[in-house]
């Protein structure tokens, strides 16, 4: 279990990371060398069982959904490496969002509107 000091240090480190890498919705990522991975809403997803294996291979009921490394190598590398990412809401409703990894220099968007 983390001590209060460790928790405070972690919160401060996260705040500093976000401050260093914060951008607004008008920031031109492509010009700055970031690769756009597309709209996550349209990505092909797969289902995983309780052991993290593909349901299509095990035949077990699904526990979660996700994206394979074969279909989305840059995304999976970022996620599997547990990189910190920045998430920005691009409108007041919070329905259009962008996710940025300053380490991988990739970004993608997703829509969470009704």
Q: Which domain holds residue 13?
A: 4-111
Instruction: Give residue 61's pLDDT.
Output: 87
- Spatial neighbors of 106 by CB under 8 A, at least 6 apart, are 34, 35, 36, 37, 74, 75, 78, 100
- Does residue 70 contact residue 45 with C-beta atoms inside 8 Å? no
% of the chain exceeding 70 in pLDDT: 95
Instruction: Please give the average per-residue pLDDT across 20-40, as a whole number.
Output: 82
Instruction: Please give the average per-residue pLDDT across 32-53, as a whole number.
Output: 91
**How many domains does the chain divide into?**
1
Q: Is the pLDDT assigned to residue 100 strictly greater than 70?
A: yes
Instruction: Give residue 25's pLDDT.
Output: 65
Angle at 99 between CA 93 and CA 17, to 5 degrees: 110
Edge-to-edge order in the sheet of strand 86-89 = 35-39, 106-111, 96-101, 86-89
Instruction: Give residue 79's pLDDT.
Output: 94
Q: Is the pLDDT assigned to residue 38 strictly greater than 80?
A: yes
Instruction: Give residue 88's pLDDT.
Output: 83
- Does residue 64 contact residue 54 with C-beta atoms inside 8 Å? no
pTM here is 0.75
């Amino acid at each position: 279990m983390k001590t209060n000091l460790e928790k405070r240090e972690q919160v401060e480190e996260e705040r500093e990371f976000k401050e260093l890498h914060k951008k607004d919705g008008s920031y031109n990522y492509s010009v700055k060398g970031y690769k756009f991975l597309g709209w996550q809403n349209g990505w092909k997803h797969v289902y995983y069982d309780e052991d993290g294996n593909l349901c299509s291979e095990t035949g077990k009921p699904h526990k979660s959904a996700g994206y394979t490394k074969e279909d989305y190598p840059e995304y999976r590398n970022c996620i599997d490496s547990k990189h910190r990412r920045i998430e920005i809401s691009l409108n007041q409703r919070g329905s259009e969002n962008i996710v940025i990894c300053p380490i991988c220099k990739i970004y993608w968007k997703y829509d969470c509107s009704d």
